[in-house]
Structure 1
């Protein structure tokens, strides 16, 4: 990558602050920052993700789009990790018995843009995707 990437900020709804705090800290290893009874800041791999309490909705429609014959949840968010860190996290998540929406796998193997990806939900149903590029310089290559 040519330029250093600025951290993003993302606020997401959760229906239980304490269960979500535990997930982001203990499962994903994110350090908690400022907080109140209704929100918590996290260092999400160098970015700022804030969980905000929102009561559970009775009507929650799941939408997916087909990618590689898999149902990718929309919306979703995540981070691109270095190749080795991605595989270490995938192993860690399996050891923590995280249920994957899409198990870790390699897309575009041996091609431009070769990448590893995996999807899973947090305790409030927010879909997360983590990925890694074999060559990070191909992040936006067509």
Structure 2
């Protein structure tokens, strides 16, 4: 590996000629996300029962969840709950503020099927985005009871999670 490429790799970055070829995200570095909710009991039902997240520590003002291997914390702050603005992505209005998980295809489909069986309202129904292009993915959006938007994705080719698609990329 050339010097500059090696330095980028050590820093956890990739040179442009490697982007989109091999994912460089790992599950040994879980993220943490804190977000507002208006009702902890409803958050527990949604994340714990509906999505199957294991409940961690909790207090009267917050609950930790194991969100697909990552730690998320729902904080009781009703005044902070608001509907996020949206941007157009591949012809859809996508909430600007959202979080979610990238799942294997079969787990993504099983979750979509389960949510449909539970008659959960989709903000954006399950669909294939960027079909036939780099980064082809399955995606859907839902909202939790406090209005927080969640996206669940899957990729035909996990090595293309960070693939660049061409015309729709802006630097």
The answer on whether the counterparts of 2:100 and 2:150 sit within 8 Å (CA) in structure 1 is: yes
- CA-atom RMSD, angstroms? 1.6
Greater helix proportion: 2
1:72-129, Cα deviation, whole Å (9 max, x unpaired): 1120111111111111100011111110110000012222211000001000000000
The residue that corresponds to 1:72 in the other structure is 94
1:118 aligned to 140, 161, 164, which one? 140
Partner of 2:42: 19
Larger relative strand fraction: 1
SS at match of 1:22: helix
Task: Choose which of 151, 154, 167 in structure 2 pairs with 1:129.
Answer: 151
- Long gaps (5+) in structure 1: none
Query: How many residues matched?
Result: 141
Structure 2, gaps ≥5 residues long: 1-22, 165-171
Moved over 4 A (4+): none
Q: Give the TM-score normalised by structure 1.
A: 0.93
